[in-house]
Amino acid sequence: MATSEENKQLALKEKDLGNAAYKKKDFNTALQHYRTALTHDPTDITFHNNIAAVYFEQREFKKCIEECEKAVEVGRENRADYKLIAKAFTRTGNAYRKLEDYKSAKTYFEKSLSEHRTPEVKSLLSDTEKQIKEMERLAYIDPAKADEEKEKGNEYFKQGDYSTAVKHYSEAIKRNPDDAKLYSNRAACYTKLAAFDLGLKDCETCCRLDETFIKGWIRKGKILQVMQKSSEALTAYQKALEIDPNNAEALEGYRACTMAVHADPKEVWKKALNDPEVQQILKDPAMHVILEQMQSDPKAVQEHLKNPQVASKIQKLLESGIIKIY
């Protein structure tokens, strides 16, 4: 009969054979060797961890979890290295992630970190927490309830209770985060509350979600005007006029900003020409040709704006006050 030490040696030989098979992705053979290793030495957590690894590769995630539980139990009983116990917990967490049970995964990654902290597991935990939040966010979406909250917000807005209106619009946004108009409504509240930075952020989200929603661009222009950012407001009104060239609010805002920006042309030019980005654009021979075309034929700008790189440069020149289209 083999001694305890001889059994351990036999177990290690089987483990090595299992590892060789595992590397070749011959998982069934690997499993046989790891199980044989356990018969020689049932006190070693490593063999359970190895079996769990095979089940994971075979996408037998429930079996993987069960084997990891055995690994932890054996490890605790035999005072195994805490790193090996942490490894079992991490693999359990990964198996639960594959099963899309993110809350259980989070629990096991936390257990792993309580045994041994590593950047890898911290990253896994962080990613899992993000997935849980995203699932909760998606589960909360309900357009019908969003409409109810929007109506409540509208009522409070009419009453002049802008803070309460913000709360209802915010709840509506949580219920339907892709509705551009909700951000525009909340931006109107923030404007009334003089929270212009928050209003501007909502306008930007609104315009990103729906570039054709003219009210978003007009509201953005008005906020930028109040913030004394006339050049940027001009751009917002220009976007609105591209949607509807006859919109009275957009035309009025555009004219007001044009006057503000160009009140002192020399100062506008001086400031613009000190901007390194503007300097670079004006040195570009191709842009010289485009700007000359625009002078002789203002409609030519529409064609040039189809080129994203040229459009970006024209946009910069518009914001700086170097050129104007309307």
Per-domain residue ranges for the chain? 43-140, 264-325
* Orientation of helix 196-209 relative to helix 214-226, angle to 10°: 160
Statement: residue 299 has pLDDT above 70? no
- 75-100: burial string, b at 16+ Cβ within 10 Å, e else: beeeebeeebbbbbbbbbbbbbbeee
Q: Distance (Å, rounded) from C-alpha 136 to C-alpha 49?
A: 32
CB neighbour class for 28 (10 Å; exposed up to 12, middle 13-18, buried from 19): exposed
Our measurement of the distance from residue 101's CA atom to the centroid of its chain's CA atoms, rounded to an integer in Å, reads: 21
Give the tokens for residue 55: 């089940």
* Residue type (1 letter), 32: Q
Closest by CA to 8, choosing from 34, 40, 38, 30, is: 40
Our measurement of the distance from residue 171's CA atom to the centroid of its chain's CA atoms, rounded to an integer in Å, reads: 20
Q: Is 75 helix (H, G, I), strand (E, B) or coil?
A: helix
Would you place residue 20 in the very low, low, confident or very high pLDDT band (cuts 50, 70, 90)?
very high
Instruction: Report pTM.
Output: 0.58
CATH number of the domain located at residue range(s) 264-325 in this protein = 1.10.260.100
Cβ neighbour number for residue 120 with a 10 Å cutoff: 9
- What pLDDT, on the 0 to 100 scale, is given for residue 173? 97
> pLDDT of 114-156, one tens digit each?
999 999 999 999 999 999 999 999 999 999 999 999 999 999 9
CATH number of the domain located at residue range(s) 43-140 in this protein = 1.25.40.10
Q: Which residues contact 113 (CB under 8 A, 6 or more apart)?
A: 86, 121, 122, 125
> pLDDT of 33-76, one tens digit each?
999 999 999 999 999 999 999 999 999 999 999 999 999 999 99
Helix, strand, coil distribution of the chain in percent, nearest 5? 80, 0, 20
CB 210 within 8 A of CB 179: no
